[in-house]
A and B are shown apart, each in its own frame.
Chain A
Amino acid sequence: MIVAEGLEKSYTSGGRPLPVLRRIDLEVPPEAFLSIVGPSGSGKTTLLGLLAGLDEPSAGRVLLDGQDIFALTEDGRAEFRAQKVGFVFQTFHLLPTLTALENVLVPLELRGEYDGARARAEALLARVGLGERTDHYPAQLSGGEQQRVALARAFVNRPKILFADEPTGNLDRETGASIVAMLEELNRDAKTTLVLVTHDPSLAERAHRVISLSGGRIASDRPGSATAAMVGASR
């Protein structure tokens, strides 16, 4: 589902190249749950941005669902995301001028899907527990509620791949846990490939696979402990 080959990214600083990612090779099978961890500045967000086609690499390529995304124009990549990708952000990034329902509708409308869109968005909002608050604006919702709207938005277009950037980073522990539970549940039901960037070790360990970045390289690539425990238990 996701293939990264020889992915490199460097920025120019003071006239000299400053490498942020060095030769990343990675393969994530369909329906997998991958988490990316590492200290600040290790290149986590850069990697996520490249995998999602939000930025262009200095070298290497990324295949999403078999499509070399950097062979597409910027607008082509946007269209690709509209069709196959979902996002969850640390700061929720709901459009402040739209209601919860309208925010969830955005990905469908961007694909030109209007028939049944509203019912679908309402159903998803009900599923994340906000069925009664569809007409509220982001400013009228708590952080946890905003992130739940963001989850509904991320899943509404049935993405094949979901990228989540520190989805619990701005939430307290308890709320964060409920968001993660919801994320996992939706992911399981929708059979989505999930890529998660996080600082939170306990959250990272819930993934099937944990990649740890350090200095722009993959320092370790191992199964998540929850999965390991599950695998261990099943043995």
Chain B
Amino acid sequence: MKPRLRPRFAWRLAVRELRHGFRRVGVYMASITLGVGALVSIHSFRDDVARSVQEEADVLMGANARLADDAPLSAEVMSVLDSLSASGAGVARVTTATSMVFAPASNMVRLLQVRALDEGYPFYGEISTAPAGRWGRHLQPGQVLVDPAVLTQLAVEVGDTLVVGLTRLEIAGTVDDLPTDLAYQTAIGPRVHVSQATLAESELLVIGSLARYEAFLRIPDIEERRTLRERYDSIFDAADVDYTLAEEQAQSLSNGVRFLGRFLGLVGLGALLLGGVGVASAIHVYIREKRASIAVLRCLGAHQGTAFAAYLLQAGLLGLLGALGGVVLGLVVQAAMPTLLADVLPVDVTTRISLTSAAAGLGIGVWVALIFALIPLLGVRDVPPLAALRQDVEPHRRRWDPLRLGVYTLAAGSVVLLCVIEAPEPEVGFGFAGALAVASLLVAGTAWLLTQAARRWFPSGAPYPVRQGVSNLFRPQNQTMSVTLALGFGAFVIGTIVEVGGSIRDELTLSFGVGQPNVLLFDVQPDQVDGVLALMPDSARPSADVTPLVTSRIAAINGQTPDELRENPDREERPEGWAVRREYRNTYRPFIGPAESLVRGRWWDGTPGSEDDTAIDSGDLPGVSLEEDVAVSLRVGLGDTITWEVSGIEVPSVVMSLRRVDWERMEPNFFAVLEPGSLDGAPQTIVMVARVPDAAERAALQRDLVGRFPNVSALDFSRVQEAIDTVLSRVRQAVAFLGVFSGIAGVIVLLGALATSRMQRLREGALLKTLGARRRQVLTVLLSEYVALGTVATASGLLLAIGGAAIVVPTVFEMEYAPRLGALALIWGVVVALTVVVGLLGSRDLLNRAPLPVLREAPE
């Protein structure tokens, strides 16, 4: 008799069973919904942002093209601009400098960005100001427009006066929305907007001042602005000016958005895969419940494959429903994103339903649901028809099951494939899949060890209800592993954020903390040093570190120019491009700095290097001490000659020593330190570092500087620390998203596990009550079980987080690591409380129902 597969029957049975199965397994589909929702919203919104950026390219730049340099635009470039302007193109210069700004009304000082704009900029986009219609006021003498953050930072209002350099300006309004702004720019340094004339009047810019010089062009014709580059390439190149088209800027921005979006996509995928674990656990329990039905079907003549197909179809249909729900959820979230993220988005984002994203989310969701369901579904094949006659029949175990092996391979392959597709780069995808696998294995392994330990060493003297609760972790068909995996994974992610993020924060606090310099003054002119020192409080003056800065470039090494050096065909001998071409800020001093140690050669005073004390005779030339890594990049060693170009004058020097530098220290550090006296006459600015512990004294120093030396900028490190904290907290929020997501998935898995073992629990509860247990004792059993479950899950996640941080913090961030037990205990408490609340809510009827009906209802 030839067996026949009955697909039509399988389909009918699947649809009929679903009417009831949905209630049981539906809760798990929520995890697929959640994961697909995340994927679809992330994909769609990523496309929305990237597309909007492209569409708004001109608005984002405020122009069609931009020229930019760190030095004032050269005469040649200016003449190009003049001829462009004469031929009808729009030209607007923008100069951005950093300066101390003083507010007399509040007596406060802040380091702000001063932007000087020509009329016309930006050429595109709507600018909104408060009061409305004030854009343009900054072009008038004595007027300034400011970013809203300036008002809060300096505690001033519109109409108050700001002192910028030598000018006093009235705040004409705030710039609430400048389309060219990217959120992070204003977050780090709020700006004041003035005219070019005001900037000149302020005398902020002196030789060596840090500033950025840009010219924005309005050339609507695409071809014209492209040919511009070819025509003036040699001039732009000679002047070291960047020429960027609006569409190029938009492209790189949208590439960035896509790249970031893909990382977030991985987060969504992680959540979805965690949902897959939930599905596997649900189907496992579901199939166990369906054992009798499957046996009956087999008795009535159903082919193994027919029964298997019927349940596979059910899993597929449920996956489809879950994924459809996810698509809807994703689209809702996508629509809400522009409003939620308005503050951090570079452009006004228009949402568009992306069929590709929706279809991809749907496909991936169904696939993940099916793949994870397949593993437990294989058990359907092993249900013997005899089980319809006898409850106690054991399915015969297959020793070698190629199908099972195939399914596991398919599942692993799918996970890797999905990660690779989702990741910005294949390596990242493989890495993410690997990390996911290792983390899951470790969480599961730790959970297993912990449960085994609890089983073996749990005190036998503990009260019965507690022992019973703990032993429930090992009850047959328990879902302990999947619940701990999901909850533990959440705890792991959140724990890692706390441990790694916290360590970085602590290290920063230490760097800016006690005994460390906390004020940095830059752009000090040599003749202002004494005056600035005089403004410092007496306690700070002795420790103030005065370092000259001489801007230089390499003119030659051992007589060869950078171009000649770069032509060397031997890679080993050819210096690295960045090292020979960069602009160096060198210094000269008689002593070895506190963050430095001499490795090779000898210092000016004869101090020997720790690894090699060769003394070099430099003859008449001044000596130079190089940082050891830059020496490697330049392919130079002791005795080589480096010729520096300082403001057009060549200064030769001989390498006399190599230093090792701890760049993380706050002191100013240098690639090249020259012998004192060698650069005395060169144009230079001074950087000063001091420790002014008292906040009021720091504020007074900054105020006095604005009054006396407007060109000098002061950086208060406590503000820097605040800024870094802000950035770090954004990063933490993004990662916490994954943690919270897996936490939610964990709760869903927990809910499902409770729902599926409900009958068993009811029976146990009824039995305990029949045997004389009071409500309170039954409650204690439940409480012990959930506390034990939450503890095992959290402990395995947190142990892994501690282990991970103990490796990552010292190796990647090169910081010391100590576990933050308080925060970890808090996570433990929250997860356990969550488990107990969800668990008890799911077990209400166990406490409240009378035993007899329960025992009757559940014959098994």
Contact = CB atoms under 8 A, between A and B. Distances in A.
Interface of A: 45, 48-49, 52, 54-55, 67, 72-83, 85, 87, 89, 91, 93, 95-98, 102, 106-107, 109-112, 114, 153, 165
B2 A76 contact: yes
A79 B389 contact: no
A102 B292 CA distance: 17
25 contacts: A45-B390, A49-B390, A54-B298, A54-B386, A72-B1, A73-B3, A74-B304, A75-B3, A76-B1, A77-B1, A78-B3, A78-B298, A78-B303, A79-B2, A82-B302, A87-B300, A95-B297, A96-B293, A98-B17, A102-B16, A109-B8, A110-B9, A110-B301, A112-B4, A112-B8
B389 A97 contact: no
B6 A112 contact: yes
Given A54-B384, A55-B386, A97 B301 contact: no
A55 B17 CA distance: 27
A97 B21 contact: yes
Contact of B3 (A52, A67, A76): A76
Contact of B6 (A52, A97, A110): A110
A235 B304 CA distance: 51
B290 to A, nearest CB: 9
Given A81-B299, A110-B302, A110-B306, A97 B16 contact: yes
Contacts of B303: 75, 78-79
Contact of A95 (B1, B293, B298, B306): B293
Nearest to A99: B16
Nearest to A109: B9
Given A49-B389, A79-B301, 8 more contacts: A45-B389, A54-B385, A74-B304, A76-B2, A78-B304, A79-B2, A89-B389, A97-B17
A106 B300 contact: yes
A49 B386 contact: yes
Interface residues of B, number: 35
B297 A106 contact: yes
> Which 4 residue pairs spanning A and B have beta carbons closest together?
A82-B301, A75-B3, A81-B301, A97-B20
Contact of B300 (A74, A76, A82, A96): A82
A93 B302 CA distance: 15
A123 B752 CA distance: 41
A21 to B, nearest CB: 14
The residue among B298, B304, B385 with the most chain A CB atoms within 10 A of its own CB is: B385
Tell me which of B293, B296, B390 has the highest count of chain A C-beta atoms within 10 A of its own C-beta: B296
A54 B388 contact: yes
B708 interface: no
Given A97-B19, A98-B16, A110-B306, A79 B300 contact: no
Contacts of A54: 298-299, 384-386, 388-389
Given A93-B296, A97-B16, A83 B304 contact: no
Select the residue from A49, A82, A87, A96 with max chain B CB neighbours within 10 A: A82
Most buried by B among A55, A83, A102: A55
B12 interface: yes
A153 B385 CA distance: 17
B609 interface: no
Nearest to A73: B3
Contacts, number: 107
Residue among A54, A78, A102 having the largest count of chain B Cβ atoms under 10 Å: A78
A89 B9 contact: no
Contacts of B3: 73, 75-76, 78-79
B126 to A, nearest CB: 61
Given A79-B303, A89-B296, A48 B389 contact: yes
A117 B300 CA distance: 16
Contacts of A80: 1, 301
B305 interface: yes
Contacts of B388: 54, 87, 89, 93
Contacts of B295: 93
Contacts of B13: 98, 106
A87 B301 CA distance: 10
Contacts of B12: 109
A112 to B, nearest CB: 6
Contacts of B300: 81-82, 87, 106-107, 110, 153
A153 to B, nearest CB: 8
Given A106-B297, A112-B8, A78 B390 contact: no
A85 B301 contact: yes
B587 to A, nearest CB: 82
Nearest to B5: A75
Residue of B17, B301, B384 most packed against chain A (CB within 10 A): B301
A111 to B, nearest CB: 7
Nearest to A82: B301
B293 A79 contact: no
Contacts of A75: 3, 303-305
A102 B302 CA distance: 15
Contacts of B4: 79, 112
Contacts of B2: 76, 79
A93 B292 CA distance: 7
A92 to B, nearest CB: 10
A58 B760 CA distance: 36
A51 B100 CA distance: 98
Nearest to A170: B859
Interface string B835-859: 0000000000000000000000001
Contacts of A77: 1
B19 to A, nearest CB: 7
Contacts of B21: 97
B293 A78 contact: no
Contacts of A91: 859
Nearest to B296: A93
Contacts of A55: 384, 386
A83 B19 contact: no
Contacts of B386: 49, 54-55
A165 B16 contact: no
A153 B300 CA distance: 9
A52 B299 contact: yes
Nearest to B292: A93
A76 B4 CA distance: 8
A102 to B, nearest CB: 6
Contacts of A87: 296, 299-300, 388
Contacts of A83: 1, 301
A153 B297 CA distance: 12
Contacts of B16: 97-98, 102
A88 B36 CA distance: 45
A52 B390 CA distance: 14
B299 to A, nearest CB: 5
A91 B438 CA distance: 47
A144 B306 CA distance: 30
A62 to B, nearest CB: 14
A103 to B, nearest CB: 10
A95 B302 CA distance: 13
Contacts of B385: 52, 54, 78
A78 B389 contact: no
Contacts of A97: 16-17, 19-21, 293
Interface string B379-392: 00000111011100
A72 B1 CA distance: 7
Nearest to A105: B12
Interface string B266-304: 000000000000000000000000001101111111111
Contacts of A48: 389
Interface string B1-43: 1111010110011001101110000000000000000000000
Contacts of B305: 75
A89 to B, nearest CB: 6
A72 B3 CA distance: 9
Interface centre among B6, B293, B299, B304 (most CB of A within 10 A): B299
A97 B297 CA distance: 13
Interface string B138-153: 0000000000000000
Interface in B292-325: 292-293, 295-306
